[in-house]
């Protein structure tokens, strides 16, 4: 059983994930509308939709919505930001799967975009999803774009370290990669929720730290599932729990933490 | 001799291009700073710098600065937008050159990024430049990001049509591709100049149309140089001049058109 299996989640988290998926998929469906004509332009948007609307947990957009509520906002105010984060996440998957990168044939149980379409279309579809992510973030605010861009740069650094075959020899080295590859986009998700709620700088910074903590815990859980970095496994398991406690402490200082506490517990295995 | 050879440009355009190159290259140099440590993260930023700071005319950022002045602003207010446009242009070149796309070995007289580095680094460097472009645009405003994103989507559609081997059989079909592939980013450049100047909607819309006209004329000139679409060459040559006149009419209605008139003349061969 996966350590981050939605079926193992507490009821409030299950409901959050289900509601977030419905809302963000509707939002992405609206934003990624296929142009008439059926030519190459339509095919490109089909490839973008294939990637973004694929089955998945939608944990990042769920975090955007939950963080917005925790900062005192309404979920509907965070829908553009939630779609931005999920489209950005999708773009990273499409490009990471390319033959020159991880060369994966399957993603989320289906052929990867370059398998289902072709390699050139996969490159352009990823570019298109990244572009659509920034277009959506711009509807929130320039600050949302700045946060998304800064965190997206961290993700690229993490991917470059990963591709270079950097073998972490200590937990600190491993965590550097986890923070960049996974933590950064969770941090962006939580902070964008705060920005969408119109929260102040302090709450937004706390949300970003919360997101970084659970994103890093999420990646440790993923490693444990996959048997990666086995030499560091027991340290990693302890660190995952520590990050969960850290996230909960941060969430408790927010106006109305709500589901963020349960989310942190679930992701960190507490 | 190239129809869009800087050596054939009138003195005011030559000066604009030189000053724009100096200013925008300094701005990009500052934004693309290599992280310490010399590992994979540093190599990724080196690849981004290799692409963005390569020799080139810098006509798009020059247009941003000139449009800002024409709309009553100061050039320094448009530097972030100018860097955004040039980084976005660089990303399109890096990805277009990839083996799965145009498979080019040379660009601007030097090995392409995937040749000088490797294919995975080229994909990530392009992604990084697109991200850096939006980060820079966000410093201007959310409106600047929205314009850049919308035009960047058009560029992707143009690239998809081009890759699909769409053979235009009429000038209208050819112009559809030219507008998307080249006109769109010129339109974004001119409009971003207007936005950076704090110009009103009407001036910004006029600037966007001006940019679309000279960008499309620029692409016709490029075709004539390369001998592309030879069956349509005489129609294309006439259309290029028509677009030049259209651009001049649009520029004349701006607060202080300045060098935009000469720029339109040069690009359209008037």
Residue B228, pLDDT score: 81
Residue B1, pLDDT score: 36
Closest CA to A88 of A159, A9, A176: A159
A46 vs B33: CA distance, rounded Å: 36
Average per-residue pLDDT in chain A?
A: 94
Residue A222 has pLDDT above 70, yes or no: yes
Residue A49 has pLDDT above 50, yes or no: yes
Residue B224, pLDDT score: 84
How many residues are there in chain B? 270
Question: What count of Cα atoms within 13 Å lies in the side-chain half-sphere of residue A39?
Answer: 15
Tokens encoding B259: 């060098």
Tokens encoding B192: 């971003």
A132 vs B156: CA distance, rounded Å: 11
B34 vs B162: CA distance, rounded Å: 34
A131 vs A118: CA distance, rounded Å: 20
A216 vs A39: CA distance, rounded Å: 42
> Which of residues A9 and B84 earns the better pLDDT score?
B84
B4 vs A260: CA distance, rounded Å: 58
> Which of residues B109 and B118 earns the better pLDDT score?
B118
Contact B124 A149 (CB under 8 A): no
Nearest C-alpha of chain B: how many angstroms from A158? 8
Residue A37 has pLDDT above 80, yes or no: no
Chain B positions in Cβ-Cβ contact with residue A132 (cut-off 8 Å): 149, 153
Q: Given pLDDT bands bounded at 50, 70 and 90, which one contains residue B182? A: very high
* Helix or strand run (H / E) with residue B111: strand B110-111
B158 vs B182: CA distance, rounded Å: 8
* Mean pLDDT computed over A5-33: 94
Quick: pLDDT tens for A65-76: 999 999 999 999
Closest CA to B165 of B101, B107, B106: B101
Q: What b/e string do you get for B172-193 counting C-beta neighbours within 10 Å, with b at 16 or more?
A: eebbbbbbbbbbbbbbbbbbbb
A6 vs A263: CA distance, rounded Å: 11
**Shortest CB distance from B95 goes to which of A127, A152, A161?**
A127
Nearest C-alpha of chain B: how many angstroms from A110? 22
Place of tokens 């006509």: B59
CATH number belonging to domain B6-90+120-268: 1.10.600.10
pTM of the model: 0.97
Residue A1, pLDDT score: 36
* Mean pLDDT computed over A129-153: 97
**Shortest CB distance from A142 goes to which of B145, B149, B164?**
B145
Residue B2 has pLDDT above 90, yes or no: no
Closest residue of chain A to B162, computed from CA coordinates: A40
Chain B positions in Cβ-Cβ contact with residue A120 (cut-off 8 Å): 100-101, 163
Query: Judging by DSSP bridges, how do beta strands B106-107 and B110-111 pair with one another?
Result: antiparallel
Residue B38, pLDDT score: 66
**Third-level CATH fold of A6-268:** Farnesyl Diphosphate Synthase (1.10.600)
Q: In which region does residue B186 sit, left (phi positive, over 0), alpha (psi from -120 to 50) or beta (all else)? A: alpha
Chain A positions in Cβ-Cβ contact with residue B138 (cut-off 8 Å): 138, 142-143, 145-146, 149
Residue A3, pLDDT score: 61
CB pairs under 8 A between A and B: 140
Closest CA to A260 of A69, A99, A119, A85: A69
Quick: pLDDT tens for A229-263: 888 999 999 999 999 999 999 999 998 999 999 99
Chain B positions in Cβ-Cβ contact with residue A119 (cut-off 8 Å): 100
Yes or no: say if B112 and B97 are a contact pair by the CB < 8 Å rule: yes
Q: In which region does residue B93 sit, left (phi positive, over 0), alpha (psi from -120 to 50) or beta (all else)? A: alpha
Yes or no: say if B120 and B114 are a contact pair by the CB < 8 Å rule: no
Residue B227 has pLDDT above 90, yes or no: no
**Shortest CB distance from A100 goes to which of B43, B44, B119?**
B119
How many residues are there in chain A? 270
Interior CA angle at B86 toward A182 and B204, to 5°?
Answer: 105
**Shortest CB distance from B163 goes to which of A120, A161, A163?**
A120
Yes or no: say if B121 and B131 are a contact pair by the CB < 8 Å rule: no
A135 vs A30: CA distance, rounded Å: 13
Yes or no: say if A250 and A217 are a contact pair by the CB < 8 Å rule: no
Closest residue of chain A to B94, computed from CA coordinates: A123
Indicate the domain borders of chain B.
6-90+120-268
Residue B183 to residues A42, A62, B220, B242, Cα–Cα distance (Å): 20, 38, 10, 15
- Number of CB atoms found within 10 A of residue B165's CB: 7
Residue A2 has pLDDT above 60, yes or no: no
Tokens encoding B14: 């030559």
- Number of CB atoms found within 10 A of residue B76's CB: 12
Contact B39 A161 (CB under 8 A): yes
Nearest C-alpha of chain A: how many angstroms from B102? 9
* Mean pLDDT computed over A209-233: 91
- Per the DSSP assignment, residues forming a β-bridge with B110 are B107
Q: Which of A157-161, A166-170, A198-202, B10-14 has the lowest mean pLDDT?
A: A166-170
Q: Given pLDDT bands bounded at 50, 70 and 90, which one contains residue A6? A: confident
Contact A130 B130 (CB under 8 A): yes
Yes or no: say if B108 and B54 are a contact pair by the CB < 8 Å rule: yes
Residue A226 has pLDDT above 90, yes or no: no
């Amino acid at each position: 059983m996966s350590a981050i299996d939605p079926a193992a989640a507490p009821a409030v988290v299950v409901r959050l994930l289900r509601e977030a998926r419905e809302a963000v998929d509707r939002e992405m469906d609206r934003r990624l509308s296929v142009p008439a004509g059926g030519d190459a332009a339509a095919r490109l948007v089909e490839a973008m939709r294939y990637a973004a609307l694929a089955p998945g947990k939608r944990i990042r957009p769920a975090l955007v919505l939950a963080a917005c509520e925790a900062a005192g906002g309404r979920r509907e105010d965070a829908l553009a930001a939630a779609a931005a984060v999920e489209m950005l996440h999708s773009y990273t998957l499409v490009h990471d799967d390319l033959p020159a990168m991880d060369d994966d044939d399957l993603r989320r149980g289906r052929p990867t975009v370059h398998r289902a379409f072709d390699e050139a279309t996969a490159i352009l579809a990823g570019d298109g999803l990244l572009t659509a992510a920034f277009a959506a973030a711009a509807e929130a605010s320039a600050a949302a774009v700045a946060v998304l861009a800064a965190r997206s740069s961290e993700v690229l650094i993490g991917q470059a370290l990963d591709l270079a075959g950097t073998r972490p020899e200590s937990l600190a080295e491993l965590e550097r990669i986890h923070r960049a590859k996974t933590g950064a986009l969770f941090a962006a998700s939580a902070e964008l929720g705060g920005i969408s709620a119109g929260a102040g700088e302090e709450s937004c910074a706390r949300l970003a730290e919360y997101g970084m903590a659970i994103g890093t815990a999420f990646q440790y859980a993923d490693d444990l599932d996959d048997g990666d970095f086995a030499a560091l496994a027991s340290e990693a398991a302890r660190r995952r729990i520590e990050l969960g406690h850290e996230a909960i402490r941060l969430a408790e200082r927010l106006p109305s933490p709500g589901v963020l506490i349960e989310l942190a517990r679930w992701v960190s295995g507490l």
